[in-house]
Each structure stands twice: as structure tokens, then as C-alpha cells.
């Protein structure tokens, strides 16, 4: 979506946006939409616990151990994007994927964005536009094919379209806490996908891990790209950037990088589809 198209969509009144809402997008039995009740948000938190703690080995705190839920202070104010398998259920029991979406106003209620515990995001918060922080992405093990992830991306693009988001950003994780073992991937990301200075998020000094760890000209770029997690590769395919410096997250057993995408790079692919849906809804 180019900037002029995005501004035109942004001229819709609040009432018109409420009328269109975030309708469910479907692909066969799978659909993507926002959680609409406490039971669906609880299902997303339960899925996050199963994936992050039981499958990937994150270290739960007392609350997570007791509830078998991944919960934090942002969940109450965020929107929760869900992938639902309607062959199981059209409600909470069918939740098989999730992504948490946090806009400026929601972050203000907490006092900060989640990413600010690891990164200085002032280039973004000083940016004259609307921000969307995405995070806590996970998909049930049995659904990690292409369809569920594509639906999540389509859902995010639709959300960006409706809410006139200018920049999408968040933390993305490489599995493992040894930066040396991740040296090729970190160097590849820094050398090839570093954000421009005006949008360059930086790791907090006390948590910073250097990303440029070896000679980038000696890398096997194809091998580095193949080792990147699907989520990071998805951001890069959309023209995304990474920030300067990584952060080790010992609780989740990961090394995190900041990622950001200017929304027109992402939404252009979907513009014609959503323009038609929006026009039909307003007729």
C-alpha cells in the first residue's frame, strides 16, 4: 500500500471502521480473527504456555506454573489475533495459533511497550506515526505448515489496514542463549538488514550483545538464511529491518533481535483485497 492509499483508508471515520470491524479471514477449515471473549484470550495464553514452556523449555514463574498460562501485564490491554480450526470448534477450543497486537494507546495504559525491557525504541516512539508492537507469536505443533503462518500475516496486514498503522515492530527470537553459536545468523542480519538510522532501534547498553561477530564477507548467506526462524524470515521477505544489537533472554532461552517493518511494505500485497472488502461492507 503506498502512502497515499494508506492516508485514504485512514480518512474513514471511527463509525465506519466500527461498522466494518475485523471480519474473519478464512482458508479452508482455518480462520484468523481477533479474540472476542475472555475464554478465547485464555485459550491463547494456554497455547503460549504449551509452546513456550512445555515444548521450548522456557522457565515459568510461580504464576505460570500454577495456572499453566503465559500471562503478563500487556495481555489485558492488547488485541489477540487467533488462528482457529473450525473443524475442532469455532470458539476457544479451536485456537491453534496466536499473535499479540499492542497499539500506542494500549501501551500507554501499561506505561511502556514490551520491547522496551530489551531495546531503546525511542526512534520509533519519536516517529510521527502510529505504531503496532507484535509479539508472543506461536502456532500449535500440528499446524506449523504454511497455511497457519500465512493466515497470521494476512490477519496482521488487515489489522494494519483498518487501524492505519505506520510501523510494525517487536522482538523476534533465535533459539539459544550463546551468541557465539549464533554468530553467523547475527552477523548476517546486521550486515544485510540493519534498519536505517532514522528507525534504528538499539539494544539497551546493559543488555547489549554485538551482532557483527565475524567477517560478513566470509558467510554462506544461503545457509544463514536457512537457519533463521520462519518468523524472522517472514519479516525479511516483507522488507523488514533489524535493530542494532541483540539481547539474551535467559527465561525463554533465546537471543532476541528487534525487528520492524514499515506498513506500506507489508500491506501493499493485500491492498486490493481489503479495499474491495471494505467497499462492499460500506455499500
* Residue 196 predicted with pLDDT over 90: yes
14 Cβ contact list (under 8 Å, min separation 6) = none
In this prediction, residue 238 carries a pLDDT of 85
Q: Chain-wide mean pLDDT for the chain?
A: 88
Tell me if 79 sits within 8 A of 64, measured CB to CB: no
Q: Which domain holds residue 243?
A: 3-282
Question: What percent of the chain lies above the pLDDT cut of 70?
Answer: 86
Distance CA 189, CA 243 (A): 9
Q: What are phi and psi of 71, to 5 degrees?
A: -135, 140
Number of domains in the chain: 1
* Residue 3 predicted with pLDDT over 80: no
Distance CA 34, CA 152 (A): 11
In this prediction, residue 128 carries a pLDDT of 85
Tell me if 77 sits within 8 A of 41, measured CB to CB: no
Distance CA 184, CA 219 (A): 7
* Residue 247 predicted with pLDDT over 90: yes
CATH number at residue 241: 3.40.630.30
Tell me: the pLDDT tens digits for 140-172?
Answer: 999 998 899 989 988 998 899 889 899 999 999
Cell of 65: 506454573
Amino acid at each position: 500500500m503506498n502512502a497515499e492509499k494508506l492516508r485514504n483508508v485512514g480518512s474513514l471515520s471511527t463509525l465506519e471502521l466500527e461498522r466494518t470491524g475485523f471480519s474473519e479471514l478464512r482458508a479452508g477449515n482455518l480462520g484468523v480473527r481477533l479474540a472476542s471473549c475472555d475464554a478465547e484470550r485464555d485459550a491463547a495464553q494456554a497455547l503460549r504456555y504449551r509452546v513456550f514452556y512445555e515444548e521450548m523449555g522456557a522457565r515459568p514463574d510461580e504464576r505460570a506454573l500454577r495456572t499453566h498460562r503465559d500471562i503478563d501485564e500487556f495481555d489485558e490491554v492488547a488485541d489477540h489475533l487467533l488462528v482457529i480450526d473450525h473443524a475442532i470448534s469455532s470458539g476457544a477450543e479451536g485456537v491453534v495459533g496466536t499473535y499479540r497486537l499492542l497499539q500506542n494507546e494500549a501501551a500507554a495504559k501499561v506505561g511502556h511497550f514490551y520491547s522496551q525491557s530489551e531495546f531503546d525504541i525511542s526512534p520509533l516512539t519519536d516517529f510521527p506515526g502510529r505504531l503496532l508492537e507484535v509479539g508472543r507469536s506461536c502456532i500449535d505443533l500440528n499446524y506449523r505448515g504454511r497455511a497457519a503462518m500465512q493466515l497470521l500475516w494476512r490477519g496482521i496486514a488487515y489489522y494494519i489496514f483498518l487501524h492505519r498503522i505506520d510501523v510494525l515492530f517487536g522482538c523476534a527470537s533465535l533459539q539459544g542463549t550463546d551468541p557465539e553459536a549464533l554468530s553467523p545468523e547475527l552477523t548476517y542480519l546486521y550486515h544485510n538488514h540493519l534498519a536505517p538510522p532514522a528507525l534504528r532501534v538499539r539494544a539497551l547498553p546493559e543488555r547489549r550483545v554485538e551482532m557483527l561477530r565475524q567477517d560478513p564477507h566470509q558467510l554462506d548467506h544461503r545457509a544463514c538464511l536457512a537457519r533463521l526462524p520462519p518468523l524472522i524470515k517472514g519479516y525479511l521477505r516483507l522488507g523488514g529491518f533489524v535493530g542494532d544489537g541483540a539481547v539474551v533472554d535467559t527465561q525463554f532461552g533465546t537471543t532476541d533481535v528487534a525487528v520492524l517493518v514499515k506498513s506500506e511494505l507489508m500491506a501493499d500485497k493485500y491492498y486490493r483485497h481489503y479495499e474491495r472488502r471494505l467497499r462492499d461492507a460500506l455499500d
